[in-house]
Amino acid sequence: MSYVTLLPLPVEDLAAAFADDDRGPAHAVREQLRAAPPLVARAETELLSVRLAAVARGEAFLLQGGDSTGPAAGDPQVHLEANLRVLHQTGVALMYATGLPVVKTAQVCGPYARPHRLADDGIARDHALSAPIMNLFRGLCRGESPSLDRIHRWNTEFVRTAAGARHRALADRIGRGLRFMEAGGFTDHTARTAEVYTSRRMLAPDDERAMMRPDTEADRPATSMVSGSAHFLWLDARTARADASSTDLVRRVSNPVGLRIGPDATAAHLAGLVEHLDPRAVPGRLTLTCAMGAGRVRDLLPPIVERVEATGRQVVWQCDPVHRNPGEFEGALDEVAGFIEVHRRLGTHPGGLRVETAGSRESAAGTRLTGSRAVELGFHTAELLGT
């Protein structure tokens, strides 16, 4: 992946352009963010948009991972390497099973900020701390990415465990494929220069706007903005439904955006929201991350998919199987199965998987899985997609 050197953008007049009425501590923090250099380059965000368009057309698969709580105490490199290892192991299995390239995004800079920390410069500190984490993340993705052979050794170790034993056949097939590549003289350059993009949940609109800049590309509307804090932004559809200012911001931002939809989503409202947030019908512009729950996905998802597809928008359909099944791993496995069944029945592309991992932590909590559990979920998904 070709990376662009990140330089401070001109900030003259930006404060006035995106000014808020608050003149207290929150306003001062937002001014710091407006003056700070971006964490990601616009050219990278554009490339991710191209990749997600391929996913929306059924030509690729989206794998979203990472840890929303940030690095654990200790060496951040160990934590990042643990999360990236999960992405690489799972990505290889998904790529082999689907025959499609896998687009990877990772949440690597933690929660980034919480609203209650705004007054005490919490966001500004998080932004500053994210810069060295991003530099480390880039180095791990660009210069030290593992070979396919090394990833396969990790997967071989995984299937020797009790949790991974039932996936031994898939690992063996991948191994035979790698031996075929080696015999034929093929290289794994793409694995050594892995593209891994960053994702983050959106903050409150005023805070989010402070990290955006005008998008001056000729084909963009005059009011468009681009975020320099992450390549991919996401929020709950419930937030977009209830907060007009969030909806307006999503409509204006040129980054690809994800909406997580739950069992309370209705087909009619979601279709209208998709049309509103993607007025130019850009393939892959929106990712709809489905978190319905194992017992409801097969009933609730079909009318939503049919209604959204009828709008003519090419969205990415992604499954978040752990969010509604915390602590119920078998339920997460079943939700993935239901998600894929629905799309196969409707003839649409089950194009993505979201799994939040615990990184270097030995135990998981809430919706985060340990590394071995996350890989098990990825292999399970790969086998369902490959049948």
pLDDT in tens, 216-267: 876 777 788 999 889 999 999 888 888 889 999 999 999 999 999 999 999 9
Helix (H) or strand (E) holding 171: helix 168-183
Residue 30 belongs to a domain? no
Asked, for residue 209, whether it belongs to a domain, the answer is: yes
Domains held by the chain: number:
1
pLDDT score of 187: 59
User: Is 264 a member of any domain?
Assistant: yes
Q: Which residue in 350, 264, 277 sits closest to 313, CA to CA?
A: 277
The CA–CA distances, whole Å, from 240 to 91, 136, 228, 307 equal: 30, 33, 21, 18
Mean pLDDT on 304-320: 98
Cβ-contact 288, 250 below 8 angstroms: no
Q: Are 338 and 79 in contact (CB under 8 A)?
A: no
CA geometry: angle at 121 spanning 11 and 112, to 5°? Answer: 85
Instruction: Give domain status of residue 27, yes or no.
Output: no
For residue 19, pLDDT beyond 60: no
Q: Is residue 35 part of a domain?
A: no
Strand intervals (E) in 81-162: 102-107
| Residue 32 maps to a domain | no
Q: What are the φ and ψ backbone dihedral angles of 329, each rounded to 5 degrees?
A: -65, -40
The CA distance from 244 to 82, in Å, is: 38
Q: Does pLDDT of 2 surpass 70?
A: no
What range does the domain containing 53 cover? 47-386
Where residue 149 sits, what CATH number does that domain have?
Answer: 3.20.20.70
Q: Does any domain span residue 164?
A: yes
The answer as to whether 109 is a domain residue is yes
